[in-house]
């Protein structure tokens, strides 16, 4: 099953889903980091546009550990 948008947060270097859903084992997620002040004013289409812009510009990183996620998020927030 594919979910169009799943809200999540980062806690202790782990992605924590805010929506009450069950993902299949080994599911892959495309995470788009969006500022809390902006998130509620965006439509689903605008969320998707942001994600596609990240993909097209090469701002996509696969992470498999909490440490990799921490480094990736630090890089994103330094650029902002």
Calpha distance 75→39 (Å, rounded):
20
Domain membership of residue 3 (yes or no) is no
Domain of residue 54, residue span: 8-79
Residue 63 included in any domain: yes
Between CA 28 and CA 62 the distance in angstroms is: 10
pLDDT for residue 71: 83
Claim: this prediction has a pTM higher than 0.75: no
Q: Does residue 15 contact residue 69 with C-beta atoms inside 8 Å?
A: yes
> With 60 as the cut, is the pLDDT of residue 1 above it?
no
In a domain, residue 1? The reply is no
pLDDT in tens, 21-77: 887 888 777 777 777 777 778 887 887 888 888 889 887 778 888 788 788 778 877
Residue 49 to residue 55: CA distance in whole angstroms: 10
**What is the domain count for the chain?**
1
């Amino acid at each position: 099953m594919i979910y169009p948008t799943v809200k999540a947060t980062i806690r202790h270097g782990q992605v924590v889903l805010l929506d009450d859903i069950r993902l299949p084992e080994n599911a892959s997620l495309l995470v788009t980091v969006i500022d809390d002040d902006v998130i509620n004013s965006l439509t689903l289409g605008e969320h998707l546009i942001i994600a596609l812009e990240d993909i097209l510009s090469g701002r996509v990183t696969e992470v498999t550990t909490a440490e990799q996620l921490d480094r990736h998020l630090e890089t994103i927030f330094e650029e902002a």
